[in-house]
Amino acid sequence: MSTPEGSRIGIVTAGGDAPGLNAAIRAIGRSALDAGDVVVGVLNGWMGLLEPDGNRPLAAADLSGILPLGGTILGSSRTLPLNDEESLHRLVEGVDRLALDALITIGGDGTLALARRLSELGVPIVGIPKTIDFDVSGTDVCIGFDSALSVVVEALDRLHTTAASHHNVMVLETMGRDTGWLAALGGLAGGADVVCLPEFPVSMDDVAERLLARRAAGKLSSIVIVAEGSPVGGIDEPPIPLDASGHPQMARRAIGERVAAAIAEMTGFETRATVLGHLQRGGSPVATDRMWATRLGAAALELAHEGTATAVAVRSGAVVAATIQELTDASQQVPRSLYELCCQVG
């Protein structure tokens, strides 16, 4: 069923924050206000639909000046009642309570999976892919990834100069629980010598052998990049607590520090670790994220009015209508060909 112009449009941002969220909110809101819609901001992720006061109207003044801002003016949370039937129905009741004709959600795999369930329960919903992990399938662009990638590459550029000056090994830990796109493309663009990804298990023996071979060839410094979810053989795994979404808190794993310690012990090389952590999520979005967030936001509103699809995506350089099923059927993994290129040119 189509949603006519002059409707009530809700916007929710959920999961981890990412640069470009505000650009998408701005595009949805301005396009909706121009069409005569009422725009309702759902506050603090899905929590806003569970609480009577978890929302506020968005006027033109609220959308002014937010294009370059990181984070989200609506707030976010890790609340994800994906497998809680009672909470799912409370979310549906929240949509009904706000009298929303359509809900536009901007999020990653967990957020889109929940949006899919709500769609199956009859909620008129449109999903926009957002994640710095770039693990959402069916789209060539995820809001926030390019900005996070630029942070990784800049960090590698800086670490190269220190490593070369002191003839040591620098280990950089990036985000990436199940997929290693930031580490793979960051390592490729930033000239990492060893790349460790969740998709391809590696052992500490392999890492040490690579670094020893480089030193034997006269290369006195090396850069190792490790995605936080990478399986590295030869290192004991500590218990990892879960976050509110039920995902392991991979930062608690401290894989970068532990790999650095193992390298120092196995090779005798002076080794230091750097953990980028939330620096990858924060700050202003780069130009590409601003542009795609704007285009995806405007397209999402069009689809909300038309009622013709449940998601938007980017394919072959164009914004297209998609389904949430296409974006959530599988996780987009780093292909072996890309991993082998990282190993080849490192």
Question: How far is it, in rounded angstroms, from Cα 65 to Cα 67?
Answer: 6
The answer to whether the beta carbons of residues 138 and 146 sit under 8 Å apart is no
User: Taking a C-beta distance cutoff of 8 angstroms, is the pair 129, 112 a contact?
Assistant: yes
**Is-catalytic flag, 133?**
yes
Structure tokens at 66: 């937010």
Question: Rounded distance, CA 272 to CA 256, Å?
Answer: 9
Strand partners, 319: 314
Torsion sign across C-alpha atoms 331, 148, 69, 26? negative
- Burial of residue 58 (CB within 10 Å: 0-12, 13-18, 19+) is buried
Beta strands in 193-305 (DSSP E): 194-196, 202-203, 222-227, 232-233, 271-275
34's enclosing H/E stretch is: helix 21-34
CA gap 240, 134 in Å, rounded: 23
* Catalytic residue (choose from 17, 37, 101, 133): 133
Query: DSSP 3-state assignment of 195?
Result: strand
Residue ranges of E strands in 43-190: 55-57, 102-107, 125-129, 169-174
CA distance 114 to 15: 11
Amino acid at 111: T
What percent of the chain is helix, strand and coil (3-state, nearest 5)?
A: 45, 20, 40
The whole-angstrom separation of Cα 151 and Cα 22 is: 19
- Sheet (strand 169-174) strand order: 194-196, 222-227, 169-174, 271-275
d(CA 249, CA 268): 31
Annotated catalytic residues are 133
